[in-house]
Structure 1
Amino acid sequence: MEAAVQAESIPGRLLPLTILQLGWRNLRRNHRRTWITATTVALAVLLVQVAVSLLIGIEQQSFDNLINYQTAHAKLYADGYFTKREELPLDYTLTDLQELRATIEVVSGVAATTPRLNFSAQLSNGIDLYACIGVGIQVTDSDDDVFRIPQAVVDGEYLRSGEEGMLMGTGLAELFGVATGDWMTVLTKTKAGAYEALDLPVIGLIGTGNPLIDRNSFLVPLETAQYMLGLDGYATELAIRFSPTARSEETLSAIARAVDNQHLEVKGWREMEEDFMALVQMKRTGQGVFLVIFIVLAVVGVTNTILMASFERTREIGMMMAMGLRGSGIRRLFLTEGALTGLLGGALGTLVAVAITAYFATAGLDITAMYGDIDIGYPVKDTIYPAVNITVIVASWLLTGVLAALASLYPAARASRQIPVEALRHV
C-alpha cells in the first residue's frame, strides 16, 4: 500500500514532527512485524533491567551487611594498626576508652561508638583444632548500638553481661559439628607472649551472610577477651556508626580533627574494604559490557525489520524523492522508525521489569530455595531484594532507542541512495 500524499510536492526537509508522524504511521502499516520486533526488544530490556536491579540490590545489601556486621561506618585505630590489621597485632591498642568515646560521640554526624578487641585464636572441641578470629565486644551498652549482631542470632541467645560464653558463626559451628550448649576451648597468646586457654560455652549461633564472620569468627564479651589477652581496659579499635543524615566524608574529617595529635587514625568503611570495592567495580564493568552486548544483539532485529520495510516501500520511496524529498529526509524517516520500534519495545519491557522488580523488592527472592547454599561472591543473606533505580530504567530505555536507531543506519542509507526513476519501476 502506498503512503498517501496530499500535496503536489514534498519539501526537501521534513519537520521533526512530520517525520515522527510518518514514522509512526509506517510502523502501524505492518503492525504484526512491528510488534514481533518490539517484543524481542522488550524481552531484552526486561531481562537487562531485572538483572541490573538485582545487581544493584545485591550491592546495596552487601554494603549494608559490611556496615552492620563488620566495619561499621568508620573505625578509629592507634597509629600503625591499620596497615597490619590482617595480622591482628596486640601492640597497637586504644586506652582511656570512655574518654575517647565521649570525644567522638560529640562530633556532628556520629550516632554511636563501641570498643572492640580483635585477636587471633585457635578453637578446639576436643577433637578438631582450627585457627579463627576472636572478637571481644562490649555487651553492656554499646555494641548493639553500632552493629546488628543481636538480629543475626539464629539459634540460642545473645551474649549477656557478666556471663562467660561465646557467639559462633554458623559456618564455623558446622565445621566443628557443635551446637548451642556445647563447650569450646579457646587457645590464644597474650600481649606478653604467654599462652592462655579458656573453656567457654556456645550460647548462640549467628548467621550474617558475611563469610568472614559466619565461617571464621567467634564473639566473646570484651571483659573476657581483655582477661585472656592481658589487656584490661584496652581495645584494638573503636567502631563508629553515623547518623542517617550524616555526610560521610565531612564526618570522617571532623573525627580526624577531634583526635588530631593523639596518634590515632580514622578509616571509613570503603577504605577498610578497598579490595572488595575494587572487585565490585570490576564486576560492574564486566556486567555492564555483557548487558549492553545483550541489548545490541536484541536490537539487531530492528535492522532486519527496517531493511524489509525499505524493500517493500521502494516505489513509495521513489515517489517521495521524485516529489522533492531529499535523501537526508529518507534517512531520517527510517532512522525514526527504528528508534520508535526500539522505544516501543523498551517501554513494554520497562513496564514489566518495574512491576517484577517492585514485587520482589518487597517480597524478596530466596536464592537458597532455588540454588541451595551457594556463594554468590557478595556478603548477603539468603534473600535478595532488587532495587528500583529510576536512572537505570530511563537510561536503558533511551539507550534502546539510540541503539535501535543505529541499527537502522544501513537500511536507511540504502533507502536514501535509491534513484527515483528506477525505484518507481519497482514492482
Structure 2
Amino acid sequence: MWRKICTPRSSFELSAQPLSWLEQRKLLEKCAATALSSKLISQQKAFFAKMVVDVVMTLDDLLQLKMIGIQKVQDGALGDSPLVTGIAFKKTFSYAGFEMPKKYYNPMIALLNVELELKAEKDGTGIRVHTVEDYQANVDAEWNMLYDKLERIYRSEAKVVLFKLPIGDVATQYFADRDMFCAGPPEEDLKRTTMACRGSLQTSVSVLSADVLGCCQMFGETQIGGERYNFTGFPKAKTYTFILPSSAQQFMEEERSLHDAIAIVRRTIKDSGVAGGRAIEMELSKSLWDYSRTIPGKQQLFIVAYAKTLEIIPRQLCDNAGFDATNNLNKLWARWGERYGVDINNEDIDDNFEDFVWEPATGRQCPDGGLEACLIVYIDETIKNPHSTVDTTPAGGGAEFMATPF
C-alpha cells in the first residue's frame, strides 16, 4: 500500500538552463551571501561571498572540503582577510627558528611521523651498568641514533621537513645549520599538505627517496598581525586557506559561518536545487492529492493521509517562527506552486526561488523517506501500545487478563 503512495514521485528540480560563466558566478555569490546574511560577519558578506566562490569554483571535480583550511589571527580587521593559494599554518616557536631560511623555491618536502627528541625513560624502565664507561656508552648510543636519523634526512635532499611528532632543539639547530626548515604543523594541515604536495607520510627515515618526497612551488614565512605564518604554494594541487584577522574573539570564531557558505556553494555546484521554505513539500502534497483521485477504493484514503502529513512540515515551520500557520497555509494552497514557500522575513509566502532560498534536491526526496519508514514498521509488523500491556488483575483475585496489542 505504502509503495503505491511512494511510487508517483515528482521531480521539481530547477531547470538546467545554460548560463554563462559570469551569470553562474553571480548566482553562486548570491547563494553564499544568503548563507552569511544571518551571521556576525553579515556586514562583510559581499567580500566573503566573492572569496568563497573563488575557492569553490577552482577546486577539482571532487570539491573536497578538507582541501580548504581556515586560520585565525587575533589582530587586524575582517575586511583585510587574505586568501592563500596553498596551505598556511602558524609557525611554531623554537630557539633556532630565527636562524632558518625564510623562503624556498621548488623545495623537496619530507613528511615524517618520527620523533626527533631525546626524552627521559618511562617509569619502571632502567638499565643496570657497572662502570662509568658502560653508562657513557649508552648515552653515546642514544645521541648516535638521533644524529643518524638527522643525517639520513639531510641526505634525502629535502629542504622542508614537516613532522607529526615533537622535534627537539637539537634537531631544529641541526637543520638550521644546513639550510633546512623543520616544523610540526597541526595534524589537519599536515594531512592537507600531504595530499597537495603528492608526498607520503613516512614512519621511518631508512628510505627517503624521491618517490616519497613531496614538492611545492614556493615555501616561505610571512608576518600576519602578531603571528608568523608559513605558506606553501602548489601550482597543480587545488587547495586554499582562509586567514581571519580580528581583534574580537567572537568574530574570530566565525569560521563556522564560512564553512556554511562553502558547503552551500559546493552543494549548489554538485546537485540540483529546489525552492526552500517548504515549497517542495506543498508541491508533493498537491501531486499526491491529484494522484489519489485516480485510485478507487480505500487505498485513496492512505494516499490522502500521506499528502496531509507533508503539509505538517510547513505548518510547523510557521509555528516555530510565530506566524499564523493557518493563514499562510491557506495562501500556499491557493498558489500551490513549486516555488512558493514560507517567507520568514515578511511573515508571508513568496517565490523562494527568486529570493534565493534554495535547498538541495537530494535532501528533499520525501517518497524515499516514506519507503524507509515502511521498512522500519515492517520489522515487527505490529506497533504495540505499552499502556495496553499492563496487567489488569481483578480485585477478587480472578484470572489475569492481558489486553491484546494493536
Q: Which bin holds the TM-score, normalised by the shorter protein?
A: under 0.3
Higher share of residues assigned helix: 1
Which of 1 and 2 has higher RCO (CA within 8 Å, sep 6+)?
Answer: 1
Give the TM-score taking structure 1 as reference length. 0.21
